[in-house]
Amino acid sequence: MTGLLVSVRDAAEAQAALRGGAALIDVKEPLNGSLGSASPEVWRQVRAVVPRHIPCSAALGELKDVTPQHARQWRTSLAGFQFVKLGLAGCGDITNWQAQWQDILQELLPETRPVAVVYADWQSACAPPPSEILSAAVESACSALLVDTFDKSRGTLKTHFSFPELQHFHNAARAAKLATVLAGSLTPALIRDLLPLAPDFVAVRGAVCRDSRAGRVDELLVADLVRILLSTRDGGNQNSTSAKAPFAA
């Protein structure tokens, strides 16, 4: 069954997400961007209130803004986090971004696994093309691949990827034995549309906040999405490998 990942900005939001039934708690600061990093103190506070059997991930910002020294400083604060994400906005013109990415990832604790991030609006984000990121994810032994949007003001995931394109890419990630996470201003209706792909997780923030993604996580909205996932759990295994290959570099 597809699980619900909820992005939270502090420990109180994490507790609200858990009460609503979230399966994975992600820590980010939405005011700092799509993958805006929270502070190490917030990471520690969130991990302290989330039961150990519930996995946690942390957004670390964009690769171009992070150095190996940052990663060394973050090691202990990320103890207990299963996953970390670094965005690649602005890296499309950097020929050795994969090496820079590796330099940062190798500074983290061994149990903290990297998640590769594809921005659906990769061209306007000046990010590497999705096919290049998928190859790097395989070479770097990433545990998962997240498909998200960089600019939340320019539409949802489906604004930038057609369903056949997303289907093909999702299937390619699965074939590479990567867990899949779909995000990008998802609404309840969009989540229903995406469930036939059977992603491992759908990731939300704005959909579970009362006002905007900068508002507060509401446990009732979290519970509403969990009910959608539960009610459609038998309809999400219709993957196909026949879609035309998209994402030319």
245 occurs within a structural domain: no
- By C-alpha distance, which of 180, 208, 206, 212 is closest to 194? 180
179 occurs within a structural domain: yes
34 three-state secondary structure: coil
> What's the average model confidence in pLDDT over 215-243?
76
Cα–Cα distance for residue pair 87/123, rounded to 1 Å: 14
CATH number for the domain including 85?
A: 3.20.20.380
pLDDT at 233: 66
186 occurs within a structural domain: yes
Q: For helices 11-20 and 219-231, give the axis angle rounded to 10 degrees.
A: 40
Pairing of the two strands 113-119 and 179-182: unpaired
Pairing of the two strands 3-8 and 24-27: parallel
pLDDT at 214: 85
243 occurs within a structural domain: no
- What total of structural domains would you count in the chain? 1
pLDDT greater than 80 at residue 231: yes
Q: Domain limits at 29?
A: 3-235
pLDDT greater than 90 at residue 241: no
pTM (two decimals)? 0.92
pLDDT at 9: 97
242 occurs within a structural domain: no
249 occurs within a structural domain: no
Q: Which residue has the tokens 């994400």?
A: 85
pLDDT at 236: 42
219 occurs within a structural domain: yes
pLDDT in tens, 97-146: 999 999 999 999 999 999 999 999 999 999 999 999 999 999 988 999 99
132 occurs within a structural domain: yes
